[in-house]
Amino acid sequence: MPKSPHSSSASVTCRLEWRPSGFVKVWLLSLAALVPLALWASALPRALAFALMPLAAAVAGAALWRYCKRPRYRLLLRADGSFWADEVLIEDWQLQWRGALAFLQWRAGGRCVALDFWPDTLPARLRRELRLASPPIKAVSVAAGMAT
């Protein structure tokens, strides 16, 4: 019976494409629909709530429009720990995990780029590849966090 190959992060290269998440689009669309209703149901005077309803819907709609217009990124995390975004080497980058969600940040040209990977944009197979390819998180000693 053959043995399965060992997983080693030393030889892993991870290729990803970031795109806006459909989950976030639906959430922002529902926000645009529900915020005016929440204003109407609030304790605000009816005239003020009625005046703010179009503004609230417009702000939520603008957030949806901005999110949908974000550029796609082709990402490459090589086995040596180097990270490339659209074939440009990124020196200082961070990857954080919150359950099934991944958050990637870096600075490019004086501006901060922050990408969020939701389960519809990063399936389980690619999520595992990204976890294996990313450098290990540095442990913080308990003494460093304690007050003296």
Model pLDDT for residues 134-148, shown as the tens digit of each residue = 877 665 555 555 565
* Cβ–Cβ under 8 Å, residues 83 and 107: no
Task: Return left, alpha or beta for 65; rule: phi > 0 is left, psi -120 to 50 is alpha, else beta.
Answer: alpha
How far, rounded to the nearest angstrom, does the alpha carbon of residue 104 sit from its chain's CA centroid? 6
Predicted local confidence at residue 141, as pLDDT:
55
Q: Of 12-26, 102-116, 127-141, which gets the smallest average pLDDT? A: 127-141
Residue 38 has pLDDT above 70, yes or no: yes
Residue 26 has pLDDT above 50, yes or no: yes
Q: How confident is the model at residue 79 (pLDDT cuts 50, 70, 90)?
A: confident
> In whole numbers, what is the pLDDT of the chain averaged over residues?
85
pTM to 2 decimal places: 0.73
Q: What is the largest CA-CA distance in the chain?
A: 76
Residue 51 has pLDDT above 70, yes or no: yes
* Cβ–Cβ under 8 Å, residues 99 and 37: no
Among 43, 47, 28, 16, residue whose Cα is nearest residue 134: 16
Predicted local confidence at residue 130, as pLDDT:
87
Which runs of E-coded beta strand occur in 2-140? 14-18, 73-77, 83-85, 88-90, 93-98, 101-108, 111-117
Predicted local confidence at residue 24, as pLDDT:
94
Predicted local confidence at residue 48, as pLDDT:
94
Half-sphere exposure of 1 (CA within 13 A, CB side): 1
* Cβ–Cβ under 8 Å, residues 61 and 32: yes
Check residues 68 and 78 and name the one with the higher pLDDT.
68
